[in-house]
Chain A
Amino acid sequence: MVGPTADSPVTLIVDGNTAAANRALPHGEDLWLPLDDLLSATSWELKPEGVCRGETCVPLSSSQRAAMLREEQASTWFNFSEFARLIEAPVAVDHEARTWYFGPPGWEWKSWSEGRAAPDFTAPDLTGQLHSLHDLLGRKVFLLFWASW
C-alpha cells in the first residue's frame, strides 16, 4: 500500500464554494476524499454513469475509475485531484493552511472567449441586489471594469 496513513481535515474551494472535509488524505499533490463525503465536499458524486454534478456527467473508463478509487482504513477513497486533471480544472494548494482550490472545468473556461457572445454573469450591487447581463438584451451595454487601487 502506497500513501499516507493518517487522515485530517482540509478546506476545499470548488468553483467558488468552500467546504470542510473532516477526513481527507493529502498525498503529495493529490487529495483523496472519502467517497461518502465527495458530494458534500465538492458537489460532484460518483454514479454508475461517471462523476456527476447535477445534470453533467463525466464518463470514466474502467481503468480511470480504478485509478481514482482505493480502499484504505475501512473506507473507499476518491482521488479528487486526479479527477480535476481529467476535467482540466486548475488547482492551487496551500499545504500549510491545508487548503485546496479547484477552479472551473476546462469546458467552462475554454468557452469564455469562444465566439463573440458576451459571457453572461450575475453580480451584486452595494445593496446586495443581484443584476444579470442578460436582462440588458435589447440595449447597448458599455461594460467598464475598474478598481480602487
Chain B
Amino acid sequence: MVTIAADASGRDVVKQWIDAAKPSHWTLLDPDLAVANLYNVRNVPSAFWIDETGRIVRANDPIYALRRGPAGGDASRNEPYLNAVRDWVANGPSSKYLADDAAIEKRRRSASFGDMEALANFELGVYLLRRGHSSSAQRHFDRAQELAPDNWTYRRQAWSLTGATRETIVKAIRDPAAPAFYPELDLGD
C-alpha cells in the first residue's frame, strides 16, 4: 500500500491527515501533482493496482473505501470494492477483478497536447500563487480548466488554494454540462 498526497496545499495541511491515520505504509507527498500527472489522475481519490512485475492491472478507479458522513461522522465502507481488493490479494493473476487492456486503456487515457498545456498552466498557476501573484495564478487555473475540463484535480486544487466558496464548488460539480465528477466504478461483475 502506497498513498500519494496529490496536494499543493502544503506539508502541514497534509501532515494532519497522515498523522491521524498513523499509517504503516508509505505515505508520499506530491505537492506539484507530478506523480498524479504521470498517472493521468483526474480526480481523487483514485486507485491503481500494480502487480509483482510492475504491471498495472487496474487503473484510475474512483473509490472511497471509507466515507464519513459530514454530520455524524458515521462511516460507510465500500464493501464491494474492498472485497475486490481482498480477492486480488488472495488470487493474484487469477482474480476476476483484473481489468483487461481495453478497460485499462479507457481508464488511463493517453494525454493529449491539450492536457499537457493544461498541466503547464496549472503548474505555472501554483508557482505564481506561492509567490503571491494570485490574480495571475487564477488566469492560469482558468486556462487549465478550459484546456482539460475533465480534470477535477486541477479544478479542486485551484478552488482550495484560492478559497472558492462552497456555493461555487457545488454549482460547478452539479452543472449538467460538466464532465462526470467520478466516472462509474466498474468491477465487472
Q: How far is the CB of A83 from chain B (nearest CB, A)?
A: 15
**Does B52 sit within 8 A of A, measured CB to CB?**
yes
**B-binding segment of A22-30, A32-40, A45-53, A117-125:** A117-125
With A and B bound together, what is the CA distance between A148 and B36 in angstroms? Answer: 14
Q: How far is the CB of A62 from chain B (nearest CB, A)?
A: 27
| Chain A residue at minimum C-beta to C-beta distance from B132 | A97
User: B133, A96: Cβ atoms under 8 Å?
Assistant: yes
User: A13, B123: Cβ atoms under 8 Å?
Assistant: yes
User: A145, B104: Cβ atoms under 8 Å?
Assistant: no
> Contacts A116-B101, A121-B38, A148-B7 given: A94-B46 contact, CB under 8 Å?
no
User: A126, B15: Cβ atoms under 8 Å?
Assistant: yes
User: A97, B157: Cβ atoms under 8 Å?
Assistant: no
Q: Which of A134-149 contact B (CB under 8 A)?
A: 134, 136-149
> Contacts A94-B128, A118-B56, A146-B45 given: A101-B123 contact, CB under 8 Å?
yes
Q: How many A-B residue pairs have CB under 8 A?
A: 189
- Which residues on the A side are within 8 Å of B44 (C-beta)? 145-147
User: A126, B11: Cβ atoms under 8 Å?
Assistant: yes
Query: A117: which of B4, B54, B109, B113 is its contact (CB, 8 Å)?
Result: B54
User: A144, B1: Cβ atoms under 8 Å?
Assistant: yes
With A and B bound together, what is the CA distance between A102 and B123 in angstroms? Answer: 10
A to B CB contacts below 8 Å, 10 in the list: A88-B113, A97-B133, A99-B124, A112-B38, A123-B28, A138-B52, A139-B52, A142-B47, A144-B3, A147-B6
Instruction: Tell me the A residues contacting B by CB distance below 8 Å.
Output: 13, 16, 18, 88, 90-94, 96-97, 99, 101-104, 106, 109-110, 112-114, 116-119, 121, 123-126, 131, 133-134, 136-149
